[in-house]
């Protein structure tokens, strides 16, 4: 069978690439060895948010008295039902992707694809051909030799989504988004959680002030935080518990827990797909591409977690659009009066990032530490949610909005921590993308009472014109 474009992988990069190509009139097929929608939809971004929502509702119920509500009886988490709801959400979204592929006449081919050269691929013994092949094979949890994953005692994020019962104790190794979200989920449900982080702060990619706020939040949940700590080994003892040898500020010690969650990053799915045979260049577990996601082999492209850059679903989708638009000679996939133009490259300086703990964390652009290290003159506007009417009324006053501006008053970075701040991030992301100034943000009227006022208020602080702080 011959196609214009074959996409290998149906995650947020793959299915977006396939649908956009079909919308542009191309004959498209997408190859998927597992569930349509990829890891993010089925075993990552979406089902974890369902779990976290259950934890949030549980905490609201426990705090009902604070809101003037009386509960008759005790509210208890039912992990089996929580997991079942999460899986139902994933299944619903999976059906949505299948519907979109069918609606856009994208053929779904089930199986494992391997590149054969000359525009050909092999899928479990059947050969297909295309003018263009887009690799969007995604990634999987990284497994460390000193912490082998057995799926029962030492688990990955996939197993953490479907535990049959709540453990009494859990050690989470790694505190990026995946580690922090699961640490919050299980701690919120009453599990005694210990977070072990190799670097000096938890959430090491976030602004230092944000990390300190989140550390206090975890401690309120009675979680233990160990930073600047290295895991040396994990062994299952005679009682079926995990002995975790760590080396940190107190020297070497052994921690004991029912379960260890390994959240130490991801590994690209690039093995066995024919890269070496075709001479496709890779470096440090990533496929090397240009700004239009072309590999060094003509007709073969790569996007998403397998190329350098942030391993985020929305980044993969943006790369997919750029790649397909470039293949089709279009700017954002839309013709214009001046004729087709090459696709604009993805702006990696303006990538929003979210962590769905409680409080939530949202950021875009440079941290204050990065600005200092680059020797940039800057100013900061910081607005605490303790001064927010909406946050106070909602009973969620933890956190702040922090905006960083350069000497020309352009936004360098935005860092938010608090309730629902992930829904606030679009404004500073757009502001940074458009080159908005501190004056423009401060002088834009924001609705009252809203959490979003915090963005305006932070800009006013940077101007020295704050009213409410």
State both tokens at 33: 């060895």
Residue 425: closest CA among 358, 318, 351, 352:
352
Return d(Cα 299, Cα 339) in angstroms, integer. 24
d(CA 440, CA 1) in angstroms, rounded, equals 55
Of 459, 376, 448, whose CA–CA distance to 414 is shortest? 459
Q: How far apart are CA 294 and CA 447, in angstroms?
A: 45
Give the pair of three-digit tokens for residue 30: 């997408």
Is 448 known to be catalytic? Answer: yes
Question: Annotated catalytic residue: which of 66, 314, 448, 468?
Answer: 448
- What letter does residue 80 receive in the DSSP assignment? H
**For the CA atoms of 21, 22, 23, 26, what is the dihedral angle to 10 degrees?**
80
Q: Do residues 313 and 320 make contact, with C-beta atoms less than 8 angstroms apart?
A: no
Distance, in Å, from the CA atom of 316 to the CA atom of 347, rounded to the nearest integer, reads: 12
Given the DSSP bridges, would you call strands 107-110 and 28-32 parallel, antiparallel or unpaired? parallel
Residue 61: strand, helix, or coil: helix
Q: Strands 259-262 and 28-32, how do they pair? A: unpaired
Residues whose CB is less than 8 angstroms from the CB of residue 14 and which lie 6 or more positions away in sequence, other chains included: 7, 8, 30, 32, 38, 134, 136, 138, 303, 304, 320
Catalytic residue annotation: 448
């Amino acid at each position: 069978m011959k196609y214009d474009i074959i996409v290998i992988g149906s995650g947020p990069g793959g299915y977006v690439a396939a649908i956009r190509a079909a919308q542009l009139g191309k004959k498209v097929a997408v190859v998927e060895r597992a569930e349509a929608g990829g890891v993010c939809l089925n075993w990552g971004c979406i089902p974890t948010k369902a779990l976290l929502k259950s934890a949030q509702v549980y905490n609201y119920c426990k705090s009902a008295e604070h809101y003037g509500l009386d509960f008759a009886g005790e509210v208890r988490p039912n992990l089996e039902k929580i997991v079942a709801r999460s899986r139902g959400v994933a299944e619903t979204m999976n059906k949505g992707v299948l519907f979109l592929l069918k609606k856009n006449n994208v053929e779904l081919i089930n199986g494992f694809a391997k590149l054969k050269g000359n525009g050909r691929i092999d899928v479990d013994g059947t050969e297909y051909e295309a003018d263009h092949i887009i690799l969007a094979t995604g990634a999987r949890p990284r497994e460390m030799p000193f912490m082998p994953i057995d799926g029962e005692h030492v688990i990955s994020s996939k197993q953490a989504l479907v535990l049959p019962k709540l453990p009494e104790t859990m050690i989470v190794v790694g505190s990026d988004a995946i580690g922090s979200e699961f640490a919050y989920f299980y701690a919120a449900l009453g599990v005694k959680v210990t977070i072990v982080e190799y670097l000096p702060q938890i959430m090491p990619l976030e602004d230092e002030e944000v990390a300190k706020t989140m550390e206090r939040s975890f401690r309120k949940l009675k979680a233990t935080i160990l930073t600047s700590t290295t895991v040396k080994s994990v062994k299952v003892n005679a009682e079926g518990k995990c002995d975790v040898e760590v080396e940190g500020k107190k020297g070497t010690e052994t921690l004991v827990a029912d379960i260890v969650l390994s959240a130490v990053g991801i590994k690209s799915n690039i093995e066995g797909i024919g890269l070496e045979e075709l001479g496709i260049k890779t470096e440090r577990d990533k496929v090397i591409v240009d700004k239009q996601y072309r590999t060094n082999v003509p007709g073969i492209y790569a996007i998403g977690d397998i190329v350098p850059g942030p391993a985020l679903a929305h980044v993969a989708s943006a790369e997919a659009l750029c790649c397909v638009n470039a293949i089709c000679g279009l700017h954002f996939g839309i013709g214009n009066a001046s004729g087709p133009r090459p696709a604009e490259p993805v702006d990696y300086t303006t990538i929003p990032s979210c962590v769905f703990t409680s409080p939530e964390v949202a950021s875009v652009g440079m941290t204050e530490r990065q600005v200092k290290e680059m020797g940039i003159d800057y100013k900061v506007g910081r607005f605490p949610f303790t001064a927010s009417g909406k946050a106070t009324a909602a009973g969620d006053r933890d956190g702040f909005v922090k905006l960083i501006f350069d000497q020309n008053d352009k936004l360098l970075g935005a860092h938010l921590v608090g309730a629902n701040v992930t829904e606030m991030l679009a404004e500073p992301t757009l502001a940074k993308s458009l080159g908005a100034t501190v004056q423009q943000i401060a002088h834009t009227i924001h609705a009252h009472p809203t959490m979003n006022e915090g963005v305006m208020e932070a800009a006013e602080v940077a101007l020295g014109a704050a009213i409410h702080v």
